Amino acid sequence: MSAIDYTRLAMPGVQQLQPYQPGKPISELERELGISNIIKLASNENPLGTSPLALAAISQASDKLGLYPDASGYALKQKLAARHGVRPEQITLGNGSNDVLVMLVEAFICPQCRPVMSQYCFAVYPIATLAAGAEPLITPALPQSHPSMPLGHDLDAMLAAVDEHTRLVFIANPNNPTGSRLGAAELRHFLQQLPPQQIVVVDEAYTEYATDQDYPDASQWLDEFPNLVVTRTFSKAYGLAGLRVGYALSNPQIADMLNRIRQPFNVNSLALAAAEAALDDDEFIQRSCELNKTGLEYLSKALNDMGFTPLPSAGNFVLVDMGEPAEPWYQGLLRAGVITRRVANYGLPDHLRITIGTADQNQRLITALHSLRAAG
Ligand SMILES: *Cc1c(COP(=O)(O)O)cnc(C)c1O
């Protein structure tokens, strides 16, 4: 052993960091329990897998793996620009949208900056902030008793927290892990109140699933709010989580800054080809959303009937208050071959986050919960 404690040489923010805790992989549980037929409802992946158009594009692109990918992502940007009604210079591609979130922090942070984010926001925002040497400013979430947005972002509290040291504000709409979502009027109002030198990141990772009338597509407001950045991903509804591709839409100056620090080949060639093809597969998205809607209704009702408290969700997952420590339920479900997500690291030890699966998978989860309850 060395006499030097190398952890002490790391930046204070890095020493303080709790690493992101991903959902347990199926292969790991297989090894641990020696069981098969495991289902994973832990990472908000698409239970239908991947768009068939994307799969075809991947196999076509696989004969060019000896070559570097197109560092500019020209073809994908063209297609995204047309879809969102923006110019290609407004797009930054990322190795997952996680990558663009980190780039945003790296490009715009300063040591005194305190990016504003809500309690129970997506864990990557505080992690990226601490890793960049700054402190997040976390505002209290709405209470669980709130009629429309339990545990959701309190925009008034966030607005009140913004000052000259802010620089970045993070909003997930819908938010993970809470499932809460903001309506068009309240989000617009928030953007209107904010000084233009404060950059607002609206993370729309679950936008395809949020289909109610009042839900805003913030990308439509980019011309109006030059300080707005919208992030999207192919990981969730498009079913490309394993390939890692996402993007940011912003004004060209912000995109220019992100592109300066972006690793030149951050999006690999299979991901570029798959994303481009997936954008054409409206049928896959529609099927995914319909399955999600039915599954979310089924799960919410079944969980409610069992006496748990599922929170309203605009995403492809549901946050459930188990009414007691969730850990024994989590462990019991693992033994039954059902992987869910603990959220104690978010400060929610009584809750589980459950991804909406296929009808069979949802039923299996409910059956497993009934068995656990019967076994005491
Ligand atoms: C899953 C998720 C992301 C991004 O995932 P990537 O796979 O990195 O694109 C971003 N924001 C939220 C809120 C998410 O839940």
Helix and strand element counts for the chain (H, E): 13, 13
227 with 293, same domain: the answer is: no
Question: Which pLDDT value is given to residue 287?
Answer: 98
Rounded CA separation 319/336 (Å) = 20
Q: Is residue 129 part of a domain?
A: yes
45 within some domain: no
pLDDT tens by residue, 182-214: 999 999 999 999 999 999 999 999 999 998 889
Residue 218 has pLDDT above 70, yes or no: yes
The rounded distance, in Å, linking the Cα atoms of 285 and 160 is 38
Residue 140 in this model has a pLDDT that exceeds 90: yes
**pLDDT exceeds 90 at position 69:** yes
CATH number at residue 220: 3.40.640.10
Residue among 236, 247, 316 whose CB has most ligand 1 atoms within 8 A, to mutate: 236
Whether 258 maps to a domain, the answer reads: yes
Which residues are CB-neighbours of 173 under 8 A, at least 6 positions away?
181, 182, 187, 202, 203, 204, 207, 210, 215, 216, 218
User: pLDDT class for 18, splitting at 50, 70, 90?
Assistant: confident
Whether 317 and 303 have beta carbons less than 8 Å apart is answered as no
Question: Which of the four pLDDT bands, split at 50, 70 and 90, describes residue 8?
Answer: very high
- 118: in domain: yes
Within 38-90, strands assigned E span: 39-40
Last residue in a domain, options 250, 278, 306: 278
Q: Are residues 260 and 168 in the same domain?
A: yes
Q: Pull the structure tokens for residue 66.
A: 């000896």
- 177 lies in the same domain as 250: yes
- Do 210 and 301 share a structural domain? no
In-domain check, residue 133: yes
185 domain-assigned: yes
Does residue 1 carry a pLDDT above 70? no
DSSP state of 69: P
Q: Which residues have any ligand 1 atom within 6 Å of their CB?
A: 44, 96-98, 122, 172, 176, 203, 205, 233, 235-236, 241, 246
Could you give the number of structural domains in the chain? Answer: 2
Ligand 1 centre from 88 Cα, in Å? 22
The mean of the pLDDT values for the chain is 96
211 and 301 fall within a common domain:
no
In this prediction, residue 55 carries a pLDDT of 97
Report angle CA 30, 32, 33 to the nearest 5 degrees.
70
pLDDT value at residue 211: 85
In angstroms, what is the span from residue 354 Cα to ligand 1's centroid?
Answer: 16
Cis bond before residue 226 (omega within 30° of 0): no
Q: How confident is the model at residue 19 (pLDDT cuts 50, 70, 90)?
A: confident
- Among 243, 278, 313, give the residue marking a domain's end: 278
Instruction: Answer yes or no: do 107 and 70 share one domain.
Output: yes
Say if residue 81 is in the same domain as residue 226.
yes
CATH label of the domain that carries residue 355? 3.90.1150.10
Task: Let me know whether 172 and 312 are in one domain.
Answer: no
Q: How confident is the model at residue 47 (pLDDT cuts 50, 70, 90)?
A: very high
pLDDT at residue 84, as a whole number: 96
Whether residue 224 sits in one domain with residue 102: yes
What is the predicted pLDDT for the residue at 153?
98
pLDDT of amino acid 212: 86
Asked if 93 and 22 sit in the same domain, the reply is no
> Tens digits of per-residue pLDDT, 258-270?
999 999 999 999 9
Q: Are residues 186 and 56 in the same domain?
A: yes
Quick one: pLDDT at residue 228? 98
Q: Residue 1: inside a domain, yes or no?
A: no
Which of 245, 278, 311 lies at the terminal end of a domain, its last residue? 278
Beta bridge partners of 116: 137, 169
How close is the Cα of 347 to the center of ligand 1, in Å? 19
- The confidence score (pLDDT) of residue 213 equals 84
Q: Is the domain of 213 the same as that of 318?
A: no
Domain of residue 23, residue span = 10-40+283-375
pLDDT tens, position by position, 319-339: 999 999 999 999 999 999 999
Per-residue pLDDT band at 366 (split at 50, 70, 90): very high
Segment 261-311, tens digit of pLDDT: 999 999 999 999 999 999 999 999 999 999 999 999 999 999 999 999 999
